[in-house]
Structures are given as C-alpha cells and as structure tokens.
Amino acid sequence: MEAAELLPFLVPGARADLQAAAAQHVLALTGSGSGRTLLAGQAALLRALAELAVVPAPAPSRDASRALVNLAADPGMHRQLLAANPELPGRLLSCVLDPQWPWAEEAAAVLANLSRELAPCAALMEKVLAAEPERLGLERLVNALCTPTYNAAAPLHYLGPLLSNLSQQAEVRAFLLDPDRCVVQRLLPLTQYTDSSVRRGGVVGTLRNCCFEHLHHKWLLGPHVDILPFLLLPLAGPEEFSEEEMNRLPVDLQYLSPDKQREPDADIRKMLIEAIMLLTATAPGRQQIRDQGAYLILRELYNWEPEPDVRMSCEKLIQVLIGDEPEVGMENLLEVRVPEDVEHQLQQLDQQEQLELAQELRGRGAPQT
C-alpha cells in the first residue's frame, strides 16, 4: 500500500479497526530511513498523524505518538513535521503536562527529539514561556520533572533531555537561575536519580548549561545553592582518604560507603566534569573549588576512568585546579579573547588529541563511529 493511501484511514471518523491498522503501518514505516523518506513528502499524512497523537482513546494515539518519536529522531524530518503542523510542539506540551494523559512519555520524547534543532526549539520556547491562561510554562515543566508521581501512567523521563535542550536558550537559563524562584535547587537531587539515566543525564546537561552563566557562579557555589557537592558526588568512588584530606571535602563527600559506585554513564560523567570546568572560569570560583577538595575526587576519578575522552576532560580540569593562576586581566576564562593564531594552534592541538584518542580506542578494539 502506498503511503498516501493510508490517509483516509488516519483521519477523524475512520473506522476504529482500520485506523489502528493504518497507525501501526505508519509506525512500521518510521522505523527505517527509507520509510521516513517516503513519509517526508506526505504533508497531509503527517498532519493527520500529529492530530491522531493527541486524540484520546479509543484512537490509536500511542502508535501515532511512537511514530512521531521516530520521525522526530531524524533531524531531516523536523522541517516537514513543523510545516505540516506548526502547532505540534504546543499541543504535545499540553499532553506532556496533563497528569492524566497516558502517552505523555512518548509526547515528551518527541519534544526532546525536536528541541535539538533551533527552529523547533524556538517554536516550543514560545509555548513554554507563555503565561496564563494556557497554564503552560517552565514552572509546570520543572514541577513535572521533579515529581516522580506527576503522572501515574508515564514516568516522564524525557522531560530531562527536553529541559536540557531548552536550557541552551538564554531565557530559559534566566528562569532556572532566578534566585527568587528556587528552581535549580530542585534539580540538584536528580543528579543521583537511579531509576533513569535519561532523566539524570538531562538534568546534568541542564546544570552544565546553567554553568555557562558566569555571573551566577558565586550564587551557584554559595550556600543558597551549593552546587559543587551535587556535581562531585556522582564522580566519587569508594576510595579512602586521610583524615586531613577528608576534612577538606564537603560533608556530603566524607566517609562514603565502601560500595559507593560512580556514575555508570560515561557521557554523564563527562558533562559533570564540564560543568565543574565552567565553574572554574573565574578566580573566586577556582579558589572555592580548590578549597572544597575537588582535586581529591578528580584525582581518584582520573586513576579509575576507563573512557579515554572522559579521562582527557578530567585531566584538563585537574590542570586548571593545580596550575598557576592566569595573569592579570585574564582571570575570567570565559571572557578571554584568544588571538587568531593562538586559536589556530589550539585547534591543531585539539585535533591531535582527538587523533590520539581515536588511535587509543582502536587499540582497545572499540567500535568507531
């Protein structure tokens, strides 16, 4: 059956059994690149699929939502999806934030995939930042993310990467870092959320993005937020320290259990290191991170770390902490202007590092991407 021939069975009013069969057929098509290419030229079908995804039972909205997840995972499909249904991000967000919607996880996954790209992310931003009476917005999104029982039928783990993608926007970071809202503090415990690496990784990515705002570093590292222990604890293992070293560590990192496990996901470990690296951008930040014994945790992590690229990031952070302070006028590393010739040299060094990393991976028999 041609893709276009499925359209009459996907529209409202179609016989339920035929509608379900058509939705399953479309879902199967979205599982392959050739199938997605076939659907890319079917604007009416994509529009019908989007409509079906937000219709309550008995409509096959779950299969329609899963098909949208697959389509949104392909960046080449984003333009077609939005052109077919410009209101798709807002309507899916309404489903995500409906505590009774059974397929809210699938809707969140579609939005997480879509928001990787600038245009869909901007469309979604308009809805997320909208005020009442729509009752959409970052406040509710963060509340859903931080409330595991928000929707009894859907865990909403994909709100993590969705918020991470959105936090690449300055307006979202401004909301998250508003001292009067106490938002970022609610996210911190989720760096230890064991039930889902998707949720945990999304939160860590969000915190890393917030750390780009160097004007907030003093607040983030200070007692009102105290972000550093939440970034270091997942990187800590069961190693024992001398009494003197132990006293340098934050209380939450002292006398950890002998069976303490480090963050198992290498990508999340790297994001945690990157977040701490960003917090070292200013001289006061570097000093505070030194004073809280971060080097001790990073030293043990470096000795343990099995992934070369994560170990390389860890080494760079250690060098910042144990190295000499920059000369006067260059204390803020995020504001330093690098001369063009020096930037070129640094790029060459980075390429050399990546080449050495690839050689090491090949030596270990790791698959190449």
**In the predicted model, is pLDDT for residue 111 greater than 50?**
yes
pLDDT, tens only, 136-162? 588 899 999 999 999 999 999 999 999
pLDDT, tens only, 302-333? 999 999 999 999 999 999 999 876 555 444 55
Residues 6+ apart with CB under 8 A from 5: none
What's the chain's average pLDDT?
Answer: 88
- pLDDT (0 to 100) of residue 310: 96
Amino acid (1-letter code) at residue 100: Q
pLDDT, tens only, 13-41? 889 899 999 999 999 999 999 999 999 99
**In the predicted model, is pLDDT for residue 355 greater than 80?**
no
- pLDDT (0 to 100) of residue 369: 32
**In the predicted model, is pLDDT for residue 167 greater than 80?**
yes
Per-residue confidence at 131, pLDDT binned at 50, 70, 90? low
- pLDDT (0 to 100) of residue 354: 58
Per-residue confidence at 196, pLDDT binned at 50, 70, 90? very high
Instruction: Return the percentage of the chain with pLDDT > 70, whole number.
Output: 85
Please give the average per-residue pLDDT across 172-197, as a whole number.
95
- pLDDT (0 to 100) of residue 92: 93
CB 336 within 8 A of CB 269: no
pLDDT, tens only, 208-262? 999 999 999 999 999 999 999 999 999 999 999 999 999 999 999 999 999 999 9
- pLDDT (0 to 100) of residue 227: 98
Instruction: Please count the residues of the chain.
Output: 369
Amino acid (1-letter code) at residue 195: D
- Predicted TM-score (pTM) of the model is 0.86
Please give the average per-residue pLDDT across 349-368, as a whole number.
55
